Structures are given as structure tokens and as C-alpha cells.
A = this chain, B = another copy of it.
Amino acid sequence: MAPIIPVVFQAGDAGAWHIERIDAVVGPLLPSAARLSVSSAYTPAPSATPITWTLRGTAGHQRYVERLEKEQLVAVQEALGRVGATNAALIPIRKSDAWWDLAQDERRTIFETRSHHIAASLKYLPAIARRLYHSRDLGEPFDFLTWFEYGPEHAALFEELVVTLRATEEWKYVEREVDIRLRR
């Protein structure tokens, strides 16, 4: 089923994840902070420590994936929170107006037929667990918050995945991207 999973990411002095680095890939950076907390909620809980920034999103149904692809993905994808997956990346992305003004068939064509987004991702499963949160409808500064978890033995594989995705046609529509690397 496709339940709605809300998320609040908060950077500051508290949280289970240690922030190793924050890089601006396209557009402005997010301010640096020591730790990141991840909670499943629509709105942030009151915090005892100062918060540097907050990002919100919701994961739900898939927007472009077709039936056969869905079955392939479900067969190999891994859950978040695996014991050995001590590395994580949070990659918030904002796409241009040109992307959002495309029709569904045009986005889908770029997404899979030309960018091979799903096919490219399949190669990296189950080593890298992934969840896509949507933020655009929430009035957030980013459209998507992509969250990845993997073990240190798959760090090189993860770098390859990131390079592969950034080389796709779909990525030409990205007008802001920040790359946040974390360790538990």
C-alpha cells in the first residue's frame, strides 16, 4: 500500500545523525550544523536546542513509476533503518518552472525514456536504500528531499549513483541542489 509518511528534518545541535559536510551543487547552500534529527511528523515538535534549518516533506505514492518497474523495484528495494547502514545522504532538490510546466507525458519521457532514472536506480538496489519525500505542495523551498542510507562498504557505489543521476537529462531541470552527507 502507499501510506503517507510525513518527515521533518531539523539541523542543529541534536539528532541521531552527525552532519559530515554540506555542499552546494547548484544554487545557494544550506547553513552548516552539527547534527540532523529525522522525525515522522507534519510539523516540527518544540525543540530544547536551537534549530539551524528545518525541511519538511511527505512520501506517498509514486508519480512516474509504471507497473512493471514498480514490481522490479519492490522486489529488490531495502527498508530504511538497517543496522549496517550507518551512512546517509539528504539531497534536497528544486526543479525549474520549465519542468513543472511540462505535461505528464513529457515529464515521464524525460524521466525514464531519456534519463533511464528507474533503470539506473535498480542497479544500486538493495545496497542503497532510498526514500523520496515530496515538498513542493507544502510550500517548502525545495520540491523533493531525497534520503539515502547505505553501509560504508557501499560508499563508492553511492558516489557512482549520484554521478549517474546528475548526468541525466532530467537533472538539467534542477535549479537548486544541496548535498548533505551524514553518519550515524
User: A: which residues have CB within 8 A of B?
Assistant: 1-2, 4, 6, 42, 58, 60-67, 69-70, 97, 100-106, 108, 134, 136-139
Contact = CB atoms under 8 A, between A and B. Distances in A.
Given A66-B105, A67-B105, A139-B6, A1 B100 contact: yes
A175 to B, nearest CB: 13
A41 to B, nearest CB: 9
Contacts of A63: 63, 104
Contacts of A60: 100, 136-137
A62 B100 CA distance: 8
Contacts of A106: 66-67
A54 to B, nearest CB: 14
A107 B16 CA distance: 38
A100 B58 contact: no
25 contacts: A1-B97, A1-B101, A2-B100, A2-B101, A4-B136, A4-B137, A58-B139, A60-B100, A60-B136, A61-B100, A61-B101, A62-B103, A62-B104, A63-B63, A63-B104, A65-B103, A65-B104, A66-B103, A66-B105, A67-B102, A67-B105, A67-B106, A69-B103, A70-B103, A137-B137
